């Protein structure tokens, strides 16, 4: 990666970190349910690494371009807690065997993946029969006026925020991909800006 691209990537990472910082309490709550061998899809800058509990033995961080300096630094800090590896690959083609993971997590990631249904199909494939899918995502707002604003700013936001589609109906996509919810929580308008204020998080298992 050339220096200019690296600067742009770092700037985008810092923007996303700033925008998602208010969601850390939900992320912390979510990751208490992780266990065993974990696949962290779209690990990004590694802000989740310090939140995994003692029940986690290994984390595989999946990223299409894992060159971020923050990720490398954070991965070193958790080296004594669990083993960690970075895997360079697309979520559309996860390079692991079937039923390899106890937990698969998507944290503010499904909105950035070009084909979330395909990524979820891959997650379902690599998840053990009794494994858990954990997700934390923002959604299309329930207020029509805010949703209209999301639609207007979506093209620009997608360019500056790593491809994020902030108006995506992610929970329906998860169900359509063959998952059933064990539990799910949501908040609306608890944090600014309103276009990012519809947040959902929870756990799901394979259906059928």
For 35-52, write each residue's pLDDT tens digit: 999 999 999 888 899 999
**CB 116 within 8 Å of CB 173:** yes
| Cα separations in angstroms, 149 against 2, 58, 139, 140, 203 | 35, 41, 13, 10, 29
- Joined together, the tokens standing for residue 75 give 């991965």
Say if CB 98 and CB 126 are below 8 A apart.
yes
| Residue 58 near residue 52 (C-beta atoms within 8 A) | no
pLDDT tens digits, residue range 147-195? 999 999 999 988 887 788 989 999 999 999 999 999 999 999 888 889 9
pTM above 0.85, yes or no: yes
Does residue 179 or residue 5 have the better pLDDT? 179
Fold topology of 3-206: Rossmann fold (3.40.50)
- Is the pLDDT assigned to residue 28 strictly greater than 80? yes
Quote the pLDDT of residue 70. 77
Instruction: Considering only residues 75 and 83, tell me which one the structure prediction assigns the higher pLDDT.
Output: 83
Place of tokens 């994020």: 164
For residues 21 and 48, the answer to whether their CB atoms sit within 8 Å is no
Of 3-7, 95-99, 132-136, 144-148, minimum mean pLDDT range: 3-7
> H or E element: which one contains 10?
helix 3-20
Q: Are 208 and 189 in contact (CB under 8 A)?
A: no
């Amino acid at each position: 990666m050339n220096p200019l691209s690296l600067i742009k990537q770092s700037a985008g990472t810092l923007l996303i970190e700033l925008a998602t910082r208010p969601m850390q309490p939900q992320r912390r709550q979510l990751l208490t349910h992780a266990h065993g061998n974990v696949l962290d899809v779209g690990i990004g800058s590694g802000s989740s690494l310090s939140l995994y509990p003692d029940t986690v033995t290994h984390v595989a961080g999946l990223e299409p371009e894992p060159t971020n300096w923050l990720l490398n630094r954070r991965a070193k800090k958790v080296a004594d807690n669990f083993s960690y590896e970075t895997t360079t690959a697309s979520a559309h083609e996860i390079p692991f065997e079937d039923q390899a993971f106890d937990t698969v997590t998507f944290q503010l990631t499904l909105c950035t993946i070009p084909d979330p249904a395909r990524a979820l199909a891959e997650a379902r494939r690599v998840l053990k029969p009794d494994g858990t899918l954990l997700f934390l995502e923002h959604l299309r707002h329930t207020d029509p006026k805010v949703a209209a604003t999301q639609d207007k700013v979506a093209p620009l936001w997608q360019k500056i925020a790593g491809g994020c589609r902030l108006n995506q109906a992610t929970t329906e996509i998860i169900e359509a991909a063959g998952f059933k919810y064990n539990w799910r929580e949501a908040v609306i308008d608890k944090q600014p800006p309103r276009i990012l204020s519809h947040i959902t998080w929870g756990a799901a298992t394979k259906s059928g």
